[in-house]
Amino acid sequence: MGSAQSLKRIIDAIGDAIIENKEYLTDLDRPIGDSDHGFNMAKGFSVVKQKLPDMDNESVENLLKTVAMALISTVGGASGPLYGTAFLQASKVMKGKDEIGREDVVAIFEEATQGVAKRGKSHQGEKTMLDALIPATETLKAEIAAGAPLAEAFEKAAQSALEGVEYTKTIIATKGRASYLGERSIGHQDPGATSSYIIIDTVAKALSGG
């Protein structure tokens, strides 16, 4: 992570991954939502990617804030404001700081996740993106505290996020559109948890040079 330049590359890679997974995320949203999650997210991250080339001299704070604003204004649905809040909270953590340090990484994920929970009035176990974000954040915190290299910490966090995604298949949705299905939501994988996993996995891959 580190400098604004490397954050910019990571954000660009996240954009590519979301755009690549547009159909997959939309397919997941078909049985328990309104088939727009992949479309919404790809639209938002296309705008983010368009803005990046003009952001060479921007701070980490401004980069994260620009992502937040682009997502809030273009993604729409439930996930736009939620992901927007996550990136906005992350930008606040980085106010006045030049580089993202190891402790900042933990604070960014804690604040972003709490931001989603507050904005969504949601918590773990409701079949939402929080089921990926919360375990990933906990793993990231533990790995960084234990002195793991950042790339390794993110690989472990991505594994926890993926376990969270699997867990969403086993539970009833009590938030968002999927909650209208009640018990019939069991067996389906949550699209928002999946996009959160994709984002964290992309950070892990970018940090390990892959």
Q: Within 13 Å and on the Cβ side, how many CA atoms surround 87?
A: 25
Q: Interaction with ligand ATP in 79-98: which residues (CB under 6 A)?
A: 79, 82
Determine, following the binding rule CB under 6 A, whether residue 167 of this chain makes contact with ligand ATP. no
Q: Cα-atom radius of gyration of the chain, to the nearest Å?
A: 16
Identify which of residues 114 and 174 has a Cβ nearer to Mg ion in the complex: 174
Q: Token digits for 204? A: 């892990």
Nearest-approach distance from CB 46 to ligand ATP, in angstroms: 15
Q: Which tokens belong to 172?
A: 């009833």
Q: Which does 175 bind (CB under 5 to 8 A by kind): ligand ATP, Mg ion, none?
A: ligand ATP
Estimate the crossing angle of helix 37-51 against helix 4-20, to 10 degrees.
150
Q: Does residue 190 belong to the site contacting Mg ion (CB under 5 A)?
A: no
Residue from the set 15, 33, 115, 164 that interacts with ligand ATP by CB under 6 A: 33
Per-position DSSP letters for 66-90, written without gaps between them:
HHHHHHHHHT-TTHHHHHHHHHHHH
Total of residues contacting ligand ATP (CB under 6 A): 23
Q: Does 22 bind ligand ATP (CB under 6 A)?
A: no
